[in-house]
Copies of this chain bind each other. A is one copy, B any other.
Amino acid sequence: MSVQWNEMIVADARALRASEIRDLLKVAERPEIISFAGGVPDPKLFPLATFNDVYGDLTGDEQAGRRSLQYSISEGLPGLRQWIANDLAATGAVRDIDNILVTCGAQQGLDMLARLLLEPGREIVLEKPSYLGAMQAFSMRRPSYVGIAMDDEGPVITELDAAFAKGARIAYLSPDFQNPTGRSYSLDRRLAVLETARKYGAVILEDAAYCKLAYEGESLPSLLALDDTQGDPDAGTVIQLGTFSKTLAPALRIGWITAPRPVIRQLVLMKQAGDLHVSTINQEIALRAASKLFPSHLETLQDAYRAKRDVMLSALEDFMPEGVTWSRPQGGMFVWLTLPDNINSRELLIDAMEDAKVAFVPGQAFFCDQSGINTARLSFATESSERIRDGIERLALLIRRKDNQ
């Protein structure tokens, strides 16, 4: 008797579906296509020479080298967690190393928090639009999504309050340079979000993946830093996710969760059962590279991405027809485009790739309620300034043509 796989696979796993868009965008990897579709950093900005140095130093050291190749504790290396705690302290957040778990990128943090806090039918509040990767991580727990509207300052508080009033107790929020829109919350809105969460004893999962990529103005404090814990690292309403993927290199797969200890303790058991720990050598390398490179490498990144953002924004200004609007991000990697209502960005993508040789991500996938069919995410991170300007011009031409049809 042969195995009946369709019957064997459980409902939680069947909740995962392949993304059509992802398949479509495989074409975008061809060199003739100017791609604004990627969600990846510019590899030219990876500090390769420093990595060469730190790998050489580590594997050239008999004791440290062998230790970095061995199993290690599920919490993450103490030295790395101390570096993270210090970095959080510099932003005004009070956390001890016992409040930190090192994860395989922030993505694993999302997956682990989903396994800790979500179950079929339990509600989770999401921004409209929200980060697609988070929704993918959450979907395996089959929760019920409650989308809330955003305005220029952040989430609309009456909607957040209503979601909590109806029983939701978890919100996933990205206050800084959000993927996909690039927008940030104002200080007042941050405080109002926290106040609303506290009113209901709700938990905020704060995604801080892009917070170091700030290109202008004063950085605003994170929700974690603003949370009223009265100096107790185990108090408060915020669990924050961080990562080195945008500041050092994504391939190391180093992220972290910072949370009150009752949460971290259970997550450590989950990490142990799930994959034991994050690569020891990668943790050691990330610690050495960050200690060596920050903050000057962050300034290098900020300067390079700011310049690219400026090229994209001025090209949009120069070429886009009336009726098209876009975000003006103060950091991160993305500009969010809103097209005239009659343009479906998914259909536009097909023509854009075939005719204009330009790629982007249609915005609908980022909405938990499948709205936003006339929106698109554009990344300015990986293409050269020349190709960014060229690509925006080509895309604008196509939109003009579509809009006149």
Nearest residue (CB) in B for A136 is B273
A62 — which chain B residues lie within 8 A by C-beta?
48
A: number of interface residues (CB 8 Å): 89
Q: A65-B52, A104-B104, A279-B279 are in contact. Are A116 and B1 (CB under 8 A)?
A: no
Tell me if B48 and A275 are in contact (CB < 8 A): no
Complex: A46 Cα to B270 Cα, angstroms: 28
B1 touches A249 (CB 8 A): no
Is A105 a contact of B275 with CB atoms below 8 Å?
yes
Q: Mark A45-77, 1 if CB is under 8 A from B, else 0.
A: 010100110011001101001111111100000
Give the contact stretch, choosing among A183-191, A200-208, A215-223, A371-379: A200-208
Considering only CB atoms, which chain B residue lies closest to A11 in the complex?
A: B119
In whole angstroms, how far apart are the Cα atoms of A276 and B231 in the complex? 35
Decide: A274 near B111, CB < 8 A? Known: A2-B201, A13-B266.
Answer: yes
Within 61-110 of A, Cβ neighbours of B (below 8 Å) are at: 62, 65-72, 103-105, 107-108
Q: Is the interface of A mostly helix, strand, loop or mixed?
A: helix
Whose C-beta in chain B lies nearest to the C-beta of A66? B43
0/1 per residue, A133-161, Cβ < 8 Å to B?
10011011000000000000000000000
Kindly name the residue among A269, A270, A282 whose own CB sees the greatest number of chain B CB atoms within 10 A: A269
Please determine whether B108 and A275 come into contact, CB atoms closer than 8 angstroms. yes
Chain B residues contacting A116 (CB-CB under 8 Å) are 9-10, 13
Distance of A16 Cα from B259 Cα, bound (Å): 18
Binding site for B on A (CB under 8 A): 1-6, 8-14, 16-18, 40-41, 43-44, 46, 48, 51-52, 55-56, 59-60, 62, 65-72, 103-105, 107-108, 111, 115-119, 122, 133, 136-137, 139-140, 169-170, 198-203, 235-237, 245, 249-253, 260, 262-263, 265-266, 269-270, 272-282
